[in-house]
Amino acid sequence: MPAVPVIGLPADRTFIEPHNFHCVGEKYLTAVLDTLDAVPLIIPALGRRLPLERVLSMLDGLLLTGAYSNIEPCRYGGDAAMAVEPADPQRDQTTLALIPLALQAGVPLLGICRGMQELNVALGGSLHPRVHKVAGLRDHREPDDAALERKYAPRHALRLTPDGQLAALVDSTEPQVNSLHGQGIDRLAERLEIEARAPDGLIEAVRVRDVEQFALAVQWHPEWQTLDNPFYAAVFRRFGEACRQRAQRRRPPGE
C-alpha cells in the first residue's frame, strides 16, 4: 500500500488558566485529513528545546498555519514600539528555526498567512506590522463581529505571476481569495520569488526559488472549506503530491 504522508503543524502557545497549552486550529487538521489524506502531527512550540532535525526526519511535509498572534518586530530588525499584540515568542522561536532546516532537509512546505510571514522572516525578509497603516495599501483585516462565512468570504482578486506555480493551478487570471491578516511582507527575502500580489500591490504568495521540493506560501486561508473551492483545493493537492513523493522515498511500499 502507498505510504501515508505525515504532515507537521507547528502549534501556537496559549495560556488557558492556569497553564500554557500548545494548540493548532482544527480547520488545519481537517484540511490535512480531508484534502491530503495524510496524518497531521502537532509540533509543540518549544523552540530549540525540541530536537528539530529529529522532528523533521519523521515528516513528509510541513504546514505553517495562520494564527491570531503576530511575529515580534525584533525577529526582523523592526522597531519594538511597532509590536502588535498578541505575540507568541515561543512559536517564533520554533518556526523561525524550523524553516531553514526543513528547506535544507528537502521537506515540502506550505505556509498560510502567518506561515508566509514566518517564511519571509526566517529567510531574512521583513514585515509591515500594520498593513492598514501603510500608505497605498488597503485594510486586509477581516470584518469585526462578523459570522465566519463573512470573515472568510472572498475579499479581493489576485494578480498571479505569469508561468508561476499558482498560475498553473487555476484557470482564472484573477482568482478571488479571502483576507484575514494585519501584517504583511515589506522587504522580500532574497530566496523568495513572488507568485501573486493583491490589487494594491501587497505580496500575496511566494515560493522558495533555490530548492527542489515544493515550498510555497500564501497570505490568504485556503484551509477554509477547502473542498468547496477548486483553487484552494488545488493548492493543497499540489502540496499533498509533494508530500506523498517524500513519503514513498522515506517508506517504500512493502516496508
Residues forming the active site? 113, 221, 223
Phi, then psi, of 238 in degrees rounded to 5: -65, -40
> Do 24 and 91 form a contact (C-beta atoms < 8 A)?
no
d(CA 123, CA 121) in angstroms, rounded, equals 5
> Do 46 and 92 form a contact (C-beta atoms < 8 A)?
no
> Do 61 and 44 form a contact (C-beta atoms < 8 A)?
no
What spatial distance separates the first Cα and last Cα of the chain, rounded to whole Å? 10
> Do 221 and 180 form a contact (C-beta atoms < 8 A)?
yes
Which residues contact residue 121 at a Cβ distance below 8 angstroms, ignoring those fewer than 6 apart?
71, 75, 76, 96, 127, 189
Could you list the beta-strand ranges (E) of the chain.
6-10, 12-16, 19-23, 39-43, 61-64, 109-112, 127-128, 156-157, 159-160, 176-177, 184-185, 192-197, 203-208, 215-218
Coil/strand/helix, residue 253: coil
Which residues contact residue 211 at a Cβ distance below 8 angstroms, ignoring those fewer than 6 apart?
103, 106
Neighbouring C-beta atoms of residue 68, cutoff 10 Å:
11
* CA-atom Rg of the chain in angstroms: 17
